Amino acid sequence: MKAVSTEKKIKVSDLAEFDMTRHLKSKRAMTEYLNQVIADGDDAELAAALGHIARAKGMAEISKSTGITREALYKALKPNTKPRFDTVSKVLGALGMRITIRA
């Protein structure tokens, strides 16, 4: 006798889109994520990672702290963009982070 499968097949199109911001609830998680992106050396992913972290923290709050409009932040921090250094610096400052160089 053939076994009847009770598993329901799920279509990829029915899956929820992965949302990184859901995993960035603590400053430690945000810092580890950003450090990993930097360690991987994928420059294109850096802006996206900053965008994920800013959205997790609250884009309105980051906008207010940086003096950059929410619309400009969304545009600058989307995947495959190259935000200006002052934008990155302001966003990091608003997140309570800073860039450290080590030899």
pLDDT, tens digit, 9 for 90 and up, residues 9-45 = 888 888 778 788 888 999 999 999 999 999 998 877 8
Domain chopping of the chain, boundaries: 24-94
- H-helix or E-strand spanning residue 43: helix 43-57
CA distance 79 to 87: 15
Q: Provide CB contacts within 8 A for 66, sequence distance 6+.
A: 73, 87, 90, 91, 93, 94
Q: Provide CB contacts within 8 A for 56, sequence distance 6+.
A: 20, 21, 22, 24, 25, 30
Query: What is the reported pLDDT for 2?
Result: 64
